[in-house]
Amino acid sequence: MELHLPEKARLLERLRQGKFNVPDFIYVPAEDFREERFDRLEGFLSKCAESYKVIARSGHPSEEYFKGGTFDSLETYADTGGIVYARKRIISFAGSTNRLSVMRQQRFSNAPELDLEEMGVIVMPFIEGRSVMAKMLGDSWEFGYCQDRNHKVKGQPFITRTPHDRRLLQMSEDIQDFLGFRCEIEFIVSEDGDIYVVQAKDISSIETLEMKESERSIRLDGLKRIRKRRNYRERPIYVMDNHAFYINVISRCEDMILGAEGDAPTVEDVLKTITDYEKELENFALRYERFGVLGLSIEVPDDLYQVANHYLDDTPEQQKTLSRALREAAYKIDYFLAESDTFIARQNITFNMCSHDAYGIDTVRNPLWAVYWFEHRDEEVIKDFRLHGFRTGDFIGIDIDVEGKPTVYRL
């Protein structure tokens, strides 16, 4: 039976046949995992005996219809058990951490339904080095560098049109000419300076095309962004106030313990307060393809965190259930924030960006913006946002002046 390769493995195989510097790799389809048919995999891993570590990259047959970075790659041990474990983790992440991202792409980009059990895995030796992503925009190539994990002091991702090694430019041009379509290419530059091609993605169908003020505006202090192409943006916003969310949970616990007018709430009612909030976040993310978050309160104050996680200590099982629900809610808040492309909050709250988030092809038209105000102005700025009536569902405009200072308008 002929093996159908997903795009990621198919293009790597073409590049390998074209004599490009592709690390040795093997594609293991889902069927081999179901039938525990690992002869080919074990033969491949025996050649990796010198290294105790390999990298397992997602290889779903429908992955090409999703944006880069939707599914995970994991470092793991160079044995069959390590690969089986990595595949289970990739599938688990796709159904949890990446679930909202998958749902949004299905809603807004016509991505297909997924059977996660059809997830295959691409296995290749792990190469210590720096990730560089290359693609042509217009008539010029750009190169996105990811932070080097081997350094204690880590730099931020950055984009340049002048790579540190001229070979990157020549290899990128040669690969695109060889494949015959516009593509996004991921390289690993090893510690010895060798350049390996580890992924190519067809981006020929993705457009990269190159706006009103209101007197309801608030001037903020700065903006962090990788691309500096436009100085104006409009977005629907979600106003996040996790301080108020925790106060609401604690108030429900108080009514449960001390009583309230009418029927006192039960622990199920307290848990519903949490699940309602999670559903509100998910529904908002599925309503708007591009959106921003206005973070009046993102980090939960320590005192409220402690109170919420100990209020029901007299009933340990109920407190355990509540604490577990609050932990799950924290994860879902993170997943929601990761789907936004515009983040407005005080200065010390920032995105933790991976390479696809920072400079992947999907960020060309809609790069991440992190708009901030200085921490010493926190009380003043939050008061202004409340005074001007910024609410979830409002559309805002962000205008950046010649000094790089952003002003936020409620449209």
Contact 12, 122 (CB under 8 A): yes
What's the pLDDT at 232? 87
> How do residues 40-72 score in pLDDT, each as one tens digit?
999 999 887 677 789 999 999 999 999 888 999
Is residue 320 very low, low, confident or very high in pLDDT (cuts 50, 70, 90)?
very high
Can you tell me the distance from the alpha carbon of 156 to that of 359, in angstroms, rounded to the nearest whole number? 12
Cα 396 to chain centroid, rounded: 23
Is residue 212 very low, low, confident or very high in pLDDT (cuts 50, 70, 90)?
very low
Report the relative pairing of strands 120-125 and 53-59 from DSSP bridges.
antiparallel
> How do residues 216-259 score in pLDDT, each as one tens digit?
577 888 877 766 667 889 999 999 999 999 999 999 999 888 87
Phi, psi dihedrals of residue 110, rounded to the nearest 5°: 60, 30
Is residue 349 very low, low, confident or very high in pLDDT (cuts 50, 70, 90)?
confident
Is residue 209 very low, low, confident or very high in pLDDT (cuts 50, 70, 90)?
very low
Q: Is the pLDDT of residue 180 over 90?
A: yes
Please, what is the angle between helix 267-287 and helix 99-108, to 10°? 40
In this prediction, what percent of the chain has a pLDDT beyond 90? 64
> How do residues 353-365 score in pLDDT, each as one tens digit?
566 665 566 666 7
Distance set, CA 303 to CA 247, 310, 347, 379, 391 (Å): 11, 11, 22, 18, 26
Those residues whose C-beta lies under 8 Å from the C-beta of residue 190, and which sit 6 or more positions away, are 127, 128, 129, 196
Contact 157, 102 (CB under 8 A): no
Residue 120 bridge partners (DSSP): 59
Is residue 350 very low, low, confident or very high in pLDDT (cuts 50, 70, 90)?
low
Token representation of residue 285: 């993310």
> How do residues 267-296 score in pLDDT, each as one tens digit?
999 999 999 999 999 999 999 999 999 999
Q: Where are the alpha helices (H) located in 193-346, listed in sequence order?
A: 242-258, 267-287, 302-308, 316-339
What's the pLDDT at 210? 38
Q: Is the pLDDT of residue 147 over 70?
A: no
Say how many C-beta atoms besides its own lie within 10 A of residue 73's C-beta: 18
Those residues whose C-beta lies under 8 Å from the C-beta of residue 123, and which sit 6 or more positions away, are 25, 26, 27, 28, 41, 44, 45, 54, 55, 56, 57, 83
Can you tell me the distance from the alpha carbon of 38 to that of 29, in angstroms, rounded to the nearest whole number? 10
Can you tell me the distance from the alpha carbon of 381 to that of 218, in angstroms, rounded to the nearest whole number? 8
What's the pLDDT at 322? 94
Token representation of residue 54: 């390999």
What's the pLDDT at 149? 55
What is residue 10's three-state secondary structure? helix
User: Does pTM top 0.75 for this prediction?
Assistant: no
In this prediction, what percent of the chain has a pLDDT beyond 70? 89
Say how many C-beta atoms besides its own lie within 10 A of residue 350's C-beta: 12
What's the pLDDT at 328? 94
What's the CA dihedral at 362, 366, 367, 373 to 10 degrees?
A: -150
Residue with the two structure tokens 């491949």: 44
What's the pLDDT at 213? 41
Phi, psi dihedrals of residue 65, rounded to the nearest 5°: -85, 0
Contact 25, 8 (CB under 8 A): no
What's the pLDDT at 153? 47
Domains located in the chain, CATH noted: 1-8+24-126 (no CATH), 129-206 (3.30.470.20), 217-410 (no CATH)
What's the pLDDT at 265? 84
Distance set, CA 280 to CA 109, 144, 283, 291, 321 (Å): 22, 35, 5, 14, 21
